[in-house]
Every structure is written in structure tokens, then in C-alpha cells.
């Protein structure tokens, strides 16, 4: 039977070092905080774990491709245009003529006094993705010439647990990708626990997937919910195969545990939080960029923290990063200067930030 899909647009540029595989969606962002019933207007944007990581990796100097499927609709075209505009190769994204692009609405808490208001700094996502184009991802992807070319050349392949929850075919794709080991390629896997996606599926499929990765990223809170523990040492024992297990303890500390027993922990930056959505993806991108660039473990963790801090000070799933000079200064900062650094929507301040940039190092904004 002839293939019904059409490929996404091509993008000239260097061959991608990293490839992210998984669903992304159109996003409707409210024009004001408060419960959805009180919102009059929404702004269209795009989001999704794997494309968020791809965009942030590209911003951090890592040529990156995103592989997925979108519907042959306006939301799908918007997704492709925006991700490509941010420097990501979308040449292996298939356009499905029969299934729609996934969609979610973001609800942002405020101080409206409404009884259903989530409260300042909190947000909730409402998904409409069942039967989406991306849910039809399958091992057939490996035979697609555009996808096969990108996967063959990648030094880093990034996956997440979200894909496993979308469909049996998506789960089969993850298993196939994890089974296809290639010399010189790191496979990273972010749990990205989404309880709502697992109501009709068995999360027991997740542990073997996580243990098959080279680099495992876990939030302590989500690991507690999914596996009954958020303790880094216990999780390292639970998943013995990855070379590195990174456990993120929300706004406090992130610990990287190697297979040989070595552990490095780094505290988070102080942040004036606007909203939390996208911070986990930003941390993953920062840590992975540090890995690809050959940084030591502590600097990888710091780059993850800095990327996450920028996302925390922006509406939407992506945020602008500080200048290269500021990044370098913070990665090399003493523990005391790192601890004294603060990130807000108007800038980064602290003794490690170059004086001439202390007020304009960061201009995080919603995308």
C-alpha cells in the first residue's frame, strides 16, 4: 500500500548532532490568569516535550532535528513553521492527511479570587490528543529515508515516556529505537510522567524502557508517583543499566549518579517563578547540551539549572537564554557565587554575572 504521508519541509544547515522523537502539539495560551471559564481570548503557540528539548538544544549550539507526525491542518503547519524557525531540522516530520495535530490548553493560576483559580505560579494543562497524528508513530519510521538518515548520523537520541503512553505503535517504536544500539550514540530518556495519559494503559511497560537508555532523566516527584521512590540512590539501584541517572528534586537539588557509584549534586538557582511549564524540558536540554559539548558533570548540571531557570521566568514553553558570556561566567562560578545568583523575568543578578550585563543578561519572554 503506498505511503499516504508527506514529509515536512526541509531545512538547510549542518547535519544534526541530536535527534528528538515524539509528539508536539498546538497550544492555546490564555490572555489572563484565572480559570478557563473566565478567559475571553487565547493566543496560539506550540509546545511539547520533545520539540521543546529540540528548540532549546538548537539555542545552545547543538544542531538538532525533531522527528514526529502532525496533521494536515493549520495547527500542524504552525508547529512546523515555528520549530523550523528556531533552527530545528523538521525534514523527517510526516504530515498525516487523516489524523489531526494534537492540541492542549494551558490554564494559568493568578490571584483573581475565583474559587477555581489555581493560584499564582501554578498552571494546568488540558490535553486533546487522542487519535492524533503523532499517536500513529510506529517502527515503520525506521524505514523512512529522511528519518533513517537523521538517526544514523545522530550523536544523541532523545526520547520520553510520553510517547510510550500514546499508543501501542508508539510503544513499539520506542522499543525498536532503544534496541538499535549504535557506537558513538547516546540515548537519553526522560520519564516525563503524565498520569492522565496512563489511565487506559499499563505503566509497567516503562521501567524496561528507562533501563535501556544510556542517560536517564527523572524528576524525584514523578518517580515517587510512578515507582514509589524519589530517592536518588534508590532510583540508581532500580535502574542499574544507564551510564548516568539524573534525579531532579524540583527547585532544590539535582543529582547525577554514575554506574560506578560516583555522584555529583548541584543546587538549583534562586528564581522568581512566573510559571513552571517547560522547565523540565529546558533542564534536559541544558544538561544534554553540556553532555554533547563535553562539559564535566558539575557544569552539565549547572547548564541544566540555568536553562530551567530561564523557562521558569517565561510564559509559554520556551524562553530566551542569557548571552554566552553570562553562561560561561555562571558555569565557572564559585559555589558561593552560584548560590547568590538570582534569575527573574527582568534579568540575572549576582556576583558572578558580568557587571555590564547584570541587568540585561536575560530577557525571557513567552514564545
- Residue 4: band (very low, low, confident or very high) from pLDDT cuts 50, 70, 90: very low
Q: Give me the mean pLDDT over the 250-274 stretch.
A: 92
pLDDT at 361 over 50: no
pTM of the predicted model as reported, rounded to 2 decimal places: 0.89
Residues 312-337 pLDDT 10s: 887 655 667 888 899 999 999 999 99
d(CA 198, CA 300): 31
Residues 194-224 pLDDT 10s: 998 898 899 999 999 999 999 999 999 999 9
Q: Are 286 and 56 in contact (CB under 8 A)?
A: yes
Residues 119-147 pLDDT 10s: 987 888 888 888 999 999 999 999 999 99
- Residue 359 Rama label (left phi>0; alpha psi -120 to 50; beta): alpha
The one-character DSSP state at 184 is T
Q: Are 329 and 302 in contact (CB under 8 A)?
A: no
The residues spanned by each domain of the chain are 269-367
pLDDT at 338 over 90: yes
Q: What 3-state DSSP class applies to 33?
A: coil
d(CA 329, CA 22): 34
pLDDT at 129: 87
The one-character DSSP state at 89 is B
Average pLDDT, the chain: 90
Rounded to 10 deg, the angle between the 297-312 and 279-292 helix axes is 150
pLDDT at 232 over 80: yes
Which residue in the block uniquely carries the three cell numbers 493568578?
110
Locate 359 and state its grid cell. Answer: 541587568
Q: Are 271 and 342 in contact (CB under 8 A)?
A: yes
Which residue in the block uniquely carries the three cell numbers 548560590?
339
Q: Which of 168, 156, 162, 127 is nearest to 49 (CA)?
A: 162
Instruction: Please name the residue ranges forming H helices in 133-219.
Output: 145-153, 161-166, 168-179, 206-211
Of the listed ranges 107-111, 155-159, 263-267, the least confidently predicted one is 107-111
CB-neighbour burial class of residue 54 (10 A; exposed 0-12, middle 13-18, buried 19+): buried
Q: Give me the mean pLDDT over the 29-38 stretch.
A: 91
Please enumerate in sequence order all residues whose Cβ is within 8 A of that of 90, keeping only pairs 6 or more positions apart, or say none.
Answer: 8, 9, 11, 65, 66, 80, 83, 84
- Backbone phi and psi for residue 328, each to the nearest 5 degrees, phi listed first: -60, -40
Residues 272-307 pLDDT 10s: 888 777 789 999 999 999 999 999 999 999 999 999
Q: Which of 367, 297, 357, 292 is nearest to 327 (CA)?
A: 357
Length of the chain: 367
Q: Which residues are catalytic?
A: 281
Q: Are 356 and 314 in contact (CB under 8 A)?
A: no
pLDDT at 365: 33
pLDDT at 231 over 90: yes
Q: Give me the mean pLDDT over the 52-67 stretch.
A: 96
The one-character DSSP state at 189 is E
Task: List C-alpha distances in Å: 108 to 104, 126, 167, 242, 253.
Answer: 13, 11, 29, 36, 26
Q: Which of 98, 168, 180, 101 is nearest to 137 (CA)?
A: 168
Q: Are 312 and 326 in contact (CB under 8 A)?
A: no
- Percentage of the residues of the chain whose pLDDT score is greater than 90: 73
d(CA 87, CA 110): 33
Amino acid at each position: 500500500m503506498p505511503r499516504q504521508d508527506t514529509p515536512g519541509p526541509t531545512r538547510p544547515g549542518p547535519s544534526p548532532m541530536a535527534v528528538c522523537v515524539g509528539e508536539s502539539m498546538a497550544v492555546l495560551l490564555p490572555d489572563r490568569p484565572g480559570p478557563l471559564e473566565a478567559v475571553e481570548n487565547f493566543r496560539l503557540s506550540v509546545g511539547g516535550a520533545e520539540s521543546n528539548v529540540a528548540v532549546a538544544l538548537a539555542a545552545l549550539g547543538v544542531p538538532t532535528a525533531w522527528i514526529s507526525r502532525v496533521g494536515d491542518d493549520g495547527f500542524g503547519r504552525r508547529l512546523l513553521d515555528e520549530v523550523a524557525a528556531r533552527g530545528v531540522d523538521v525534514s523527517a516530520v510526516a504530515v498525516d492527511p487523516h489524523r489531526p495535530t494534537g492540541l492542549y490548553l494551558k490554564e494559568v493560576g493568578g490571584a483573581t479570587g475565583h474559587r477555581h483559580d489555581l493560584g499564582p505560579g501554578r498552571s494546568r494543562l488540558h490535553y486533546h490528543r487522542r487519535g492524533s497524528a503523532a499517536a500513529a508513530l510506529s517502527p515503520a519510521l525506521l524505514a523512512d529515508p529522511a528519518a533513517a538518515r537523521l538517526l544514523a548520523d545522530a550523536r544523541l537520541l532523545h526520547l520520553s515516556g510520553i510517547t510510550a503512553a500514546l499508543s501501542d505503535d508508539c510503544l513499539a517504536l520506542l522499543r525498536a529505537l532503544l534496541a538499535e544500539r549504535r557506537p558513538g550514540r547516546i540515548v537519553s530518556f526522560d520519564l516525563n510522567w503524565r498520569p492522565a495519559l496512563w489511565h487506559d494503559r499499563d505503566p509497567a511497560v516503562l521501567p524496561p524502557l528507562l533501563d535501556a537508555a544510556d542517560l536517564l532523566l527523572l524528576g524525584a516527584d514523578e518517580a515517587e508517583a510512578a515507582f514509589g521512590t524519589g530517592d536518588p540512590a534508590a532510583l540508581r539501584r532500580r535502574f542499574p543499566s544507564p551510564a548516568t541517572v539524573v534525579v531532579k528534586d524540583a527547585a532544590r537539588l539535582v543529582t547525577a549518579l554514575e554506574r560506578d557509584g560516583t555522584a555529583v549534586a548541584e543546587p538549583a538557582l534562586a528564581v522568581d517563578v512566573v510559571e513552571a511549564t517547560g522547565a523540565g524540558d529546558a533542564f534536559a536540554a541544558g544538561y544534554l547540551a553540556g553532555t554533547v559539548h563535553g562539559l564535566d558533570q558539575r557544569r552539565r548540571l549547572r547548564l541544566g539549572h540555568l536553562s530551567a531557570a530561564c523557562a521558569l521566568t517565561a510564559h509559554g514553553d520556551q524562553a530566551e537564554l542569557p548571552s554566552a558570556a553570562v553562561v560561561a561566567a555562571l558555569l565557572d562560578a564559585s559555589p558561593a557565587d552560584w548560590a547568590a545568583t538570582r534569575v527573574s523575568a527582568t534579568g540575572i543578578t549576582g556576583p558572578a554575572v558580568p557587571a555590564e550585563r547584570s541587568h540585561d543578561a536575560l530577557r525571557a519572554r513567552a514564545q
